[in-house]
Amino acid sequence: MRDLQLFLLCYAFIILQRMIELFIARKNEKWMKKQGAVEFGQKHYRYIVVMHILFFIVLLGEKIFRNQSISLMWPWLAIAFILTQLIRVWAISSLGKYWNTKIIVLPNATIIRSGPYSFIRHPNYTVVSLELLIIPLLFNAYFTAVMFTFFNIIVLLIRIPEEEQALITLTEYKEKFAGCNRFLPKIIDKSTINKDD
């Protein structure tokens, strides 16, 4: 019973978080479009929405029907989950009004390289990818973890190139993020190493 209560608490928290994010995204979208921003990726966006809705349905279904207890690794998974939430808030607050769940680009906008964007190009996608693993694994929902990690990879293989191309076309994205990795920060910056040493 305690496991179910913990699951429902976590489940409700994530749904509430997503609803708040959608509210912020809608507000930012209105502001950006008033400034002349252009939207891209409308065709694939609906599949992203469907994937995330299905994630919650499948996760709940797996918890109810398999009734697995909380993972023995829960302290580590809980820490990882909290860290992802902190990075998520950091990423959203770093982009401010430019953050969105859709691909909306303001022509000639200043590219943000602060916060987690100082280290990687796509911290928000990194967080979402980790969440789709961590949340199910916390409750031993292995089917959900594997299934939606796979779906997420497919979605990102479509979304990221389209988003980056839109940013390259309308902003100085390519120059600003030259040499910056998409998901993992560089340990050593090769450009700072003197080859003569």
DSSP H helices in the chain: 2-34, 42-66, 74-95, 123-138, 142-170, 173-176
User: Residue 132 is part of which domain span?
Assistant: 2-185
Residue 197 maps to a domain: no
Q: How many residues does the chain have?
A: 197
Residue-wise pLDDT tens digits, 43-57:
999 999 999 999 999
Residue 32 maps to a domain: yes
The per-residue pLDDT for 68 is: 84
Question: Which of 83-97, 134-148, 176-190 is predicted with the least confidence, judged by mean pLDDT?
Answer: 176-190
- Name every residue whose Cβ is closer than 8 Å to that of residue 91 and which is 6 or more positions away in sequence: 99, 115, 116, 117, 123, 124, 127
Average of per-residue pLDDT across 149-158: 96
**Amino acid in position 24:** I
pLDDT band at 116 (very low <50, low <70, confident <90, very high): very high
pLDDT band at 135 (very low <50, low <70, confident <90, very high): very high
**Amino acid in position 92:** I
Tokens of 157: 């293989």
| Residue 39 burial by Cβ neighbours in a 10 Å radius (0-12, 13-18, 19+) | middle
| Total of domains in the chain | 1
pTM score of the predicted model? 0.88
pLDDT band at 197 (very low <50, low <70, confident <90, very high): very low
Residue 80 maps to a domain: yes
Residue 102 maps to a domain: yes
Residue-wise pLDDT tens digits, 70-89:
999 999 999 999 999 999 99
| Per-chain mean pLDDT for the chain | 92
Residue 13 maps to a domain: yes
Q: Which residue has the tokens 């389209």?
A: 162
